[in-house]
């Protein structure tokens, strides 16, 4: 496949930076070596762990790769606008004055799901964001992508000064506008069919937005000439062709890499992707406080309807429950096309997505 693709990729395929294990150095390197753009997930790990992964991926590939960071809510652009004492209709976070009460109430409802004592204090950290940004800036990564918000303007400037491209995410026209205004070099537009978390900017986007990729691509193309990567619900090569035809510069794929031989996907997750193929996917806040799509299981059905929008507090609260290895209480993130997952080398998956 001939063409000019973003971020140093030789094929129009970007491996989604799936946090929680799947997007490990072996997977990122395999995707990059096959011609796509591999990605490391910086979220939910220490700076030291990310540093080790950067060193490993740079031993495994000489090709371009990317690093993703979660932007802490307190540092994101627009953070001063909310959440405050009143619910801001532009986002779905629980107001500050009600967060402790919502946390305590949800904790009491889910505590019987785990023999281990659940955390009693709300997480108040920053996911090691400043230290991880320094590591990413010093790496050989071609780009740094940011999820859950737009980082401070100074951080964006530093990424550009380091010779790397800034990748920002959006799930709605409002998010597209915000990313462009912030100086994104590359834009990722994600639809609701994507597995895992909605890449919503909580200060300008509602994470229940239902825009299609066609609508998001049309909106982005009407507003900017920067590369636009389409993400969500990709189930095979036909989807890739369609999205490129609709104006995407490249296509981001996550779920189809979950069973890749190189992926760091947990065993309970791998088994569910095979054994639960007849189950539907659904969206829930129950595991993290942010809307995310996964294979429907008992925990989602029991607590998904009224879980509070407490992120990242619920992610850390439910950590012992998710770690039990029980498919009915694990976060089985997957997009709507998960039935097409096949256990095979990542390079084979990349080539199959572009018809090679």
pLDDT reported for residue 94: 79
Work out the burial of residue 306: count CB atoms within 10 Å of its CB; fewer than 13 is exposed, 13-18 middle, 19 or more buried. exposed
Q: Note the pLDDT of residue 87.
A: 37
Phi, psi of 308 (to 5 degrees): -75, 155
pLDDT at 90: 33
* Whole-angstrom distance, CA of residue 51 vs CA of residue 64: 17
Q: Which two tokens stand for residue 354?
A: 């572009």
pLDDT digits (tens, 9 = 90+) for 122-141: 999 999 999 999 999 999 99
Instruction: Give the pLDDT of residue 6.
Output: 73
**SS3 category, 89:** coil
Could you tell me how many residues make up the chain?
A: 356
**What's the token pair of residue 176?**
């597209």
Classify domain 6-353 by CATH architecture. Answer: Alpha-Beta Barrel (3.20)
Domain ranges of the chain: 6-353
**What confidence score (pLDDT) does residue 97 get?**
81
Residue the block writes with tokens 């050989």: 140
Burial of 74 (0-12, 13-18, 19+ CB in 10 A): exposed
- The parts of the chain modelled with pLDDT lower than 70 are 1-4, 79-93
Torsion over CA of 42, 43, 44 and 45, rounded to 10 degrees?
Answer: 10
Q: In this predicted structure, what is the pLDDT of residue 58?
A: 99
* C-alpha gyration radius of the chain: 19
Contact 35, 350 (CB under 8 A): yes
């Amino acid at each position: 496949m001939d063409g000019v693709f973003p971020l140093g990729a030789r094929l129009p395929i970007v491996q989604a930076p799936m946090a929680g294990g799947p997007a490990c150095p072996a997977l990122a390197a395999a995707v990059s070596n096959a011609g796509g753009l591999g990605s490391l997930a910086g979220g939910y790990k220490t700076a030291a762990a990310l540093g080790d992964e950067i060193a490993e991926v740079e031993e495994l590939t000489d090709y371009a790769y990317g690093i993703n960071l979660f932007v802490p809510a307190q540092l994101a652009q627009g953070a001063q606008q909310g959440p405050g004492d009143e619910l801001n209709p532009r986002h779905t976070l629980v107001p500050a004055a009600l967060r402790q009460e919502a946390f305590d109430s949800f904790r009491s409802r889910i505590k019987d799901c785990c023999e281990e004592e659940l955390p009693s204090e709300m997480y108040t950290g920053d996911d090691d964001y400043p230290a991880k940004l320094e590591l990413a800036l010093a790496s050989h990564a071609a780009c740094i992508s940011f999820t859950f918000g737009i980082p401070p303007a100074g951080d964006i400037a530093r990424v550009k000064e380091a010779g790397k491209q800034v990748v920002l995410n959006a799930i709605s026209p409002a998010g597209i506008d915000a990313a462009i205004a912030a100086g994104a070099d590359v834009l990722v537009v994600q639809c609701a069919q994507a597995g895992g978390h909605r890449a919503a900017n909580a200060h300008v986007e509602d994470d229940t937005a239902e825009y299609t990729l066609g609508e998001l691509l049309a909106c982005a193309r009407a507003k900017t000439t920067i590369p636009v990567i389409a993400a969500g619900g990709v189930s095979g090569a036909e989807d890739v062709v369609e999205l490129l035809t609709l104006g995407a510069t490249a296509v981001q794929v996550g779920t189809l890499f979950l069973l890749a031989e190189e992926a760091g996907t947990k065993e309970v997750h791998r088994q569910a992707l095979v054994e639960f193929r007849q189950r539907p996917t659904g969206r829930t806040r129950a595991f993290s406080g942010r809307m995310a799509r996964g294979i429907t299981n008992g925990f989602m059905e029991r607590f998904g309807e009224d879980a509070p929008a407490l992120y990242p507090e619920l992610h850390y609260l439910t950590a012992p429950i998710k770690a039990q290895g029980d498919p009915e209480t694990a976060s089985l993130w997957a997009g709507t096309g998960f039935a097409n997952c096949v256990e095979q080398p990542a390079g084979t998956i990349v080539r199959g997505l572009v018809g090679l």
